[in-house]
Amino acid sequence: MPHTDAAAVALARHGDSDAFRVLVERHSRAVYRLAHRMTGSPQDAEDVVQETFLKAYRQLGRFESRANFGTWLHRIAVNCSIDLIRGRRHQEAGHDAADLDTLGSADDNRVDPSPERLMLSAQVQERVSRAMDGLTPMERAAFVLRHFEGQSIDEISRALGLKANAAKHSIFRAVRKMRLALEPFVES
């Protein structure tokens, strides 16, 4: 088994599929985490992982050996997630108009698991996941890219094919919705 990603990439470039398998085993979980954050769906995240590695395999020749494979793969995964979200952009019509006031009440209607049975981090994860599920796909993508990926609003607008102002307002709406959904727990 190649010890470094660079060694595995070099072998994979020459058709060694076992070497590429090593890269899949090393990086697929990280790609899944990112894809799940971006899409909010396990099924979509799995599809993004699949597409990411397929694209990476096809573009191995373009990968510069001095670069970090994980970072390169991460960029491909972001783009694959965005492609998937863009493909569903039409679904935002109507969903975008989600009434902010209803978010909190909708959340309250869900069955809460007993706090005793959950570890704190799992509770936090669930709360944040629910809050993010209240975002439209575009708001979610913009928020994830800004908050977790550290991309600037200009970069986000280019990546999502939005005007800078639209990207900015997607982030504002996302934060407003997150606030409504989470502030009761954060401030309690």
Partner 1 sequence: MTTNLHLHDDDLVLHYYGELPAPEDARAESHLSACQACQTNYAKLQRLMAFVDSAPAVEAPPGFERVVWARLEPELHQTRRGWTSWVRLSPAYLALAAGVVVLVGAAFVAGRLLPRSGAGGPAPQSAEKVRERILLVDLGEHLDRSQMVLVELVSANNESGSVDISTERARAEQLVAANRLYRHTAVSTGDAAMATLLDDLERVLVDVAASPATVSQADLDSVRRRIDSKELLFKVRVVSSQVRERQKAAIQERTKQSTLGS
Kindly list the residues in this chain that would bind partner 1 in the complex (CB under 8 A).
15, 17, 20-21, 24-25, 28-29, 32-34, 36-37, 42-43, 45-47, 49-50, 53-54, 57-58, 121, 124-125, 127-129, 146-147, 152-153, 168, 171-172, 175-176, 178-179, 182-183, 185-187
> What DSSP designation does 16 have?
-
Q: Shortest Cβ distance from residue 116 to partner 1 (Å)?
A: 20
Q: Shortest Cβ distance from residue 20 to partner 1 (Å)?
A: 7
Closer of 68 and 152 to partner 1 (Cβ):
152
Residue among 1, 17, 3, 28 nearest 57 (CA): 17
Closer of 24 and 98 to partner 1 (Cβ):
24
Burial 79-93 (b: 16+ CB within 10 A, else e): ebbbebbeeeeeeee
Q: Shortest Cβ distance from residue 21 to partner 1 (Å)?
A: 6
Closer of 106 and 128 to partner 1 (Cβ):
128
Closer of 65 and 125 to partner 1 (Cβ):
125
Q: Shortest Cβ distance from residue 178 to partner 1 (Å)?
A: 7
Strand, helix or coil at 86? helix
Do the Cβ atoms of 174 and 142 come closer than 8 Å?
yes
Q: Shortest Cβ distance from residue 76 to partner 1 (Å)?
A: 14
Q: Where on the phi/psi map is residue 184: left (φ > 0), alpha (ψ -120 to 50), or beta?
A: alpha
Secondary structure element (H or E) that encloses residue 165, with its range:
helix 164-186
